[in-house]
Amino acid sequence: MKQLFYLICLYAVCSCGQQEPINAKPGTKESKHKKTLAYFFNIGIDTLEVSSPQDSSSYFYGKEIDSAGAMMFPEDIRQRHFSDPPQLFGIFKFAIDSNRLGLIARTPSEYVPSSIKLFFFDLKKDTITNYIELGETWGDAGDFMQLNSWLFRDSSKHLQTLIWEHQGHDNSVDDPKDTTIATADYYTLLDISTPRIDTIFERKEKLPKQFEQLVKAKPKK
């Protein structure tokens, strides 16, 4: 019930003035992946913060996708699912444009399914064409990394994603006397409103000023 409450609240926030629920268009062939697409909750996008979930109370934990549904995904991802299921979880879907859906899913990572990815689903081809990573958290032998993203529409209503990558290393792992932690932050901005993803800037070490308020906003569950 708690997770359902979060989903309903998010829908109310994100869908204002946005797209109607996503269905097959009149006169078009119904997708062979209809059952798999049903794992994803319909939302509209205004601004959405994306992060790897810490527990099952997060709406980025998602809904477990079965092995039949896994066949819709790229081979490298579905093979990871088949080797140690469950590894795929449907979260959200939304219209990017008249021919593409955005599918947000929790997917396999190095140790556990902690990677949140955005898949681009072509309605005419009835297939996923590509994907990008929006969220991740991991740590190993003193190294750690956190990846968060913000999906938002610019002043021209183009859908963009700002990706923040926070890396670090605990130096005490190598030298117990050294208690310092070295960190670095990188920012990437992508325009995903067109079939060809445009990189506006990539791995800037300093966050451009116009995005400071977006990053400082209260984190989502």
Higher pLDDT, 147 or 214: 147
Least confident window among 15-24, 64-73, 191-200, 203-212: 15-24
Q: Where residue 219 falls among pLDDT bands split at 50, 70, 90?
A: low
52 in helix, strand or coil? coil
> pLDDT by residue (tens digit) across 110-126?
889 999 999 999 999 99
Q: How far apart are CA 124 and CA 50, in angstroms?
A: 27
pLDDT at 28: 52
pLDDT at 218: 58
Average pLDDT over residues 23-48: 82
Given a cut of 80, is residue 211 above it in pLDDT? yes
